[in-house]
Structure 1
Amino acid sequence: MVGFPLLLIPLAIYNIIVFLMPGVSFADPLLNLTLMSGAEWPLTLSDMLLALSILLLLFEVIKGARPGAKYLTDHLLSLIVFGGAAAEFLLWPRFGTSTFFLLTMLALVDFLSGIALRARRGLVPSTAAVSGGGARAPAAKPEPQFDPAPAPSVPAAASVAESVLLDRPEPKIVHPDVTPGGPSPQVPSPGLQPGNGPSPSPDGPPTPRL
């Protein structure tokens, strides 16, 4: 959608007054305003047009600052408005006034501000990668990712017990060397030597020996 150049409104009002109402003066006060200080402020038609132009210029800048606003056609229309106002100021005697000169300058500011805002939006993505002085800013190094250390494998209790049992040597039964017909092994306890009969009990009768 093409935006309408708002500064065309005060310029059109000025042209209407010049061509259709030649007896109207821009310098004659329309009304007098009494300020809080007590001073009288004569308000003229020229002052009203300039105040209206400043407010419309503010709205033009706000429109141009929005994302996606101010297409090439909008800039072309602003340039046409400024070119027409500058031609009238230079070529027509009725337009050679300070009021119309200021209106022309406001149209120029509108055109230049639209170009500056468009260029600013185009430079915003590149400034993130390029630092001041034209040197490219070093790319941020990615933070190293540390993998969690693997938990030590804890063998199951059954496997530990099984490995212990497998590693433990089996007990060996040591048989005393007994040769046939040889003497019986000696037992340290007295009276319990093999081959001797049971020792007589001190309290009972002696056991007969076979």
Structure 2
Amino acid sequence: MSMIGFPLLLIPLAICNIILFLMPGVSFVTPLVTLALMSGVAWPVTLSDVLIALGILLLLFEVIKGARPGSKYFMDHLLSLVVFAGAAAEFVMLPQFGTSTYFLLTMLALVDFLSGIALRTRRNARLAAVDAPVSRSGQQRDIEAPQPRFDPDPAPQVPPTTVAEAVLPDRSEPATPHPVDIVRTSSDTRSPGLQPNDGAHPASDAPLR
């Protein structure tokens, strides 16, 4: 189960409330430790600096948690709004909370709420852009339903032709000779040995005995 309903920025705000209500003598500007930087400057770290740095780090984790898919539900946004509204009310109405430290923590709570809303809106827009082509294609499939098809009349069958017939030119068949021409041709033909004076050896002029 994910961390639903626990705004992390409630931690520095709760620390401020504990210090202001239970330890009124503690000052936020009193240096807790002094750090020597490489430049040679001594940097006094106060309680205010620690709380603001803690709030910034927790805001980073809140943004990362809100960027994950499936996170930042309605209850998360509602609790973030409640935390911001409570911090703003304390800053405006209670005199001990009127400090720059508490104001910056209140602004961090506001950024947490607005970033969660922005991330959720962007995620919904992205999902809508992804689902739009899918739904559109589904509607087109419904509209373009297959209509009943009527088969046309079968085309007349053409006898298949071979490659040779398609390539070679058409050759006309030889004409059949007429019977009269056959007779004339045969009458004009001479048979050897039957006609007079037609042969290899001429007829002898010698008288018959």
Specify the TM-score bucket, using the shorter chain as the normaliser: 0.5 to 0.7
C-alpha separation between the residues in 2 aligned to 1:33 and 1:17? 24
TM-score, normalised with respect to structure 1: 0.66
1:7 counterpart (9, 16, 37): 9
Per the alignment, residue 30 of structure 1 pairs with 32
TM-score, normalised with respect to structure 2: 0.67
1:185 counterpart (180, 185, 188): 188
Per the alignment, residue 22 of structure 2 pairs with 20
Q: Does the 8 A contact of 2:193 with 2:199 survive in 1?
A: no
Q: For residues 39-88 of structure 1, give each alpha carbon's deviation from its aligned partner in whole angstroms, at most 9, with x where no partner exists.
A: 11100111010001011111111222222221111110001101111121
Aligned CA-pair RMSD: 3.6
Per the alignment, residue 150 of structure 1 pairs with none
Q: Does the 8 A contact of 2:28 with 2:47 survive in 1?
A: yes
Number of aligned residue pairs: give it: 171
1:76 counterpart (72, 75, 78): 78
> SS of 2:188's equivalent?
coil
Structure with larger RCO (C-alpha < 8 A, sep 6+): 2
Q: For residues 140-176 of structure 1, give each alpha carbon's deviation from its aligned partner in whole angstroms, at most 9, with x where no partner exists.
A: xxxxxxxxxxxxxxx5527838xx89x8435524554
1:157 aligns with 2:159: no
Per the alignment, residue 195 of structure 2 pairs with 195
1:39 counterpart (16, 38, 41): 41
- Structure 1 gap segments, 5+ residues each: 129-154
More helix by share: 2
C-alpha separation between the residues in 1 aligned to 2:98 and 2:107? 13
- Structure 2 gap segments, 5+ residues each: 131-159, 205-209
